[in-house]
Structure 1
Amino acid sequence: MTDILERLADRQGSGPLNQPGEQDSGEDRALERFLKFNPLKFIGEPDPEIAENWLERMTNIFAALDYTEDRRVNFVAFQFERVARAWWDMIRGKWERAQTLWTWENFTRKFNEKFLPPLIHEKREDEFIKLKQETLSVAEYEGKFTKLSKYVPGLVINERRRIRQFVQGLNVEIQEGLAAAQIFTFTEALEKAQRVESARMQVKDFHNRKKNFPSRISG
């Protein structure tokens, strides 16, 4: 914690502060909230799966925290060590010289260029195109669909295409249950698919109980 606060103070010391006490107090509280999520360190492992999972975890944390863009970048950089720290120090120097905005978009783009090579993006694109529900629940399928869709923005460029791609990957029986439904948003597609899934499960359970009932009586 002390090390983090020292680095934060160094970063903030480069700019003027109108009210240092209030600014420091606000940053301390924001940092405390961030650390309560137990963010993982990242040392720059060569395994792209580790980098991908780490960035996803950081993204999810900041989705729950209403932080400014530069604060997100500042805080996430505190989790870097060793190779990742050396890389970030280089990027930070370039940004400061070029006066690049400290935005989450700029950060993730640079991070992906370094730790998620094009081959990984191609692999994820292929996984998305071939993704089918099969033995997954609708919720599990949606989770994979959403995670992989960020690698193929062209296929989910608008709501209509996103819905169509999602429905095409569902099992046939669920697609049939959605055939007559009016769907205008992705959220509606997910909710209605889950309702169809739930109804089919109830019918299946009913028939299983009915099939086993005579055997229990005869026994």
Structure 2
Amino acid sequence: MRQQGEQIGKLHEMMARQTAAATSMPRDPPTPVAPVAPPPAMAAAPVTAVPPAASGSSAPIPSELGAEKERSLAALTTFKRFNPPTFDGDVKDPWTVETWLSAMEALFKDIYTLEKDKVRLAAHCFEGSARMWWDQARKNRSLDTASVTWETFREMLLLEYFPDSDRRKIKENFRKLKQGNRSVREYEREFTHMINCVSDLVHGDRDRAEVFEHGLRPEIFKTVHAFRLKTYEEVLDRALWVESGNAIARDEREAYKREKDREKAKKRPAGGSAGQSSSKRPPRPQRS
């Protein structure tokens, strides 16, 4: 027990000396830490501004192109379903050309064809020499079918298939054109037919109205002229109205005349021997 106490005491003394030595030793000052320089500022990369897309940009979107192709195909399918007349151009006859153009225009109206589709659809009806002419005309003029108006197309076709000799002849006949014994509608058809073939026969709607009016029969012209109408449609409508009124009046006059003739026939005495005997006087008695 005694030895253990001595050992414990020695341990306490060693611990005390170590503590005193640690306290008496000078402490090294802390090593200064060099300041860290901030990284150099990086120059901002230039950013190229992207302008917004213009609202009126003409560049078509792929989806729009697809929709337009489908619409064009549907228009062509509808057009072909009505079996439109073909045109081969083998004979250069103005009446044939004008008749074909009129048939096209009537069909366009019936199926509500858009203006931008008319030339493209009509060109599908070309055959033979007409097809060759159209292909060559497009190449020579660098034409895009979608940009050609119907009026331009009509003029090009008539210019190609309408000889100058026929044009001059129509102009001469137009100056002499009168209604005569025809109906107003028959006169109007030939009048319009000539103008469609030669567009410079009249200059504007007012001129067309005046020329048509002066070609009417005198009894119709007198009434129509009194109204001082300004447009061709008004003149044509009034001429048809006057003609109808004249026809009704004529029918009434003829019916009245027939009725009078029947009344006269009833009042007329019956013919034959009976009529003759009744008109004679009785014989006189003989004297004795």
Task: State the TM-score, normalized to the length of structure 2.
Answer: 0.62
Q: Which moved more, 1:19-28 or 1:76-85?
A: 19-28
Q: 1:155 to 1:102 in 2, by over 3 A?
A: closer
1:123-158 Cα deviation digits (max 9, x unpaired): 222222111111221122122222212455445213
Distance 1:189 1:115, change over 3 A: same
2:178·2:187 contact (CA, 8 Å) conserved in 1?
Answer: yes
Does 1:25 pair with 2:70? Answer: yes
Query: Within the alignment, does 1:72 sit opposite 2:127 as a pair?
Result: no
2: CA distance between counterparts of 1:117 and 1:59? Answer: 23
Match of 1:169 among 205, 210, 215: 215
**Which residue number corresponds to residue 174 of structure 2?**
128
**1:34 equivalent in alignment to 2:34:** no
Letter in structure 2 aligned against 1:108: R
Q: Is the 8 A contact 1:72 1:104 kept in 2?
A: yes
Q: Is the 8 A contact 1:44 1:84 kept in 2?
A: yes
Q: How many percent identity over aligned positions?
A: 32
Amino acid at match of 1:33: T
1:131-187 Cα shifts (integer Å, max 9, x gaps): 111122112212222221245544521333222111110000101122421312212
Matches of 1:152 and 1:84, distance apart in 2: 20
Name the stretch that deviates more: 149-158 or 39-48.
149-158
Contact 1:133-1:171 within 8 A present in 2 as well:
yes
Runs of 4+ residues deviating >6 angstroms: none
Residue 251 of structure 2 is matched in structure 1 by 205
Residues 155, 54 of structure 1: CA spacing in aligned structure 2 closer, same or farther, 3 A cutoff?
closer
Q: 1:63 to 1:130 in 2, by over 3 A?
A: farther
User: 2-side partners of 1:210 and 1:99: how far apart?
Assistant: 66
What CA deviation, in whole Å up to 9, does each residue of 1:96-136 have, x standing for no partner? 3x668423233223222221121222222222211111122
2:88 maps to 1:43 = yes
Give 2:247's aligned amino acid: M
State how far apart, in whole Å, the 1-side matches of 2:81 and 2:176 are: 38
Taking a change above 3 Å as real, the CA distance of residues 74 and 194 of structure 1, as seen in their structure-2 partners, is same
Would the alpha carbon gap of residues 159 and 81 (structure 1) be closer, same or farther in structure 2, given more than 3 Å must change?
Answer: closer
Q: Tell me how far apart the structure 2 counterparts of residues 36 and 205 of structure 1 sit (CA, whole Å).
A: 46
The alignment status of 1:110 with 2:147, answered yes or no, reads no
Asked if structure 1 preserves the Cα contact closer than 8 Å seen for 2:98 and 2:196, the reply is no
For structure 2, the 5+ residue unaligned runs are: 1-59, 267-288
Larger-gyration structure (1/2): 2
Report the CA distance between 1:208 and its aligned residue.
Answer: 0.7
Kept in 1: contact 2:87–2:130 (CA 8 A): yes
Deviation (angstroms), 1:36: 4.1
Partner secondary structure for residue 226 of structure 2: coil
Quick one: which amino acid aligns to residue 124 of structure 2? F
What is the Cα-based RMSD across aligned positions, in Å? 2.5
Matching residue's letter, 1:44: G
Pick 1 or 2: higher relative contact order, CA cutoff 8 A, min separation 6: 1
Query: Counterparts of 1:61 and 1:194 in 2: how far apart (Å)?
Result: 26
Equivalenced residues, count: 202
Give the structure with the higher percent helix.
1
Answer yes or no: is the 8 Å Cα contact 1:159–1:186 preserved in 2. yes
Unaligned residue ranges in structure 1 (runs of 5+) = 1-15
Moved more, 177-186 or 100-109: 100-109
Equivalent of 1:56 in 79, 102, 107 = 102
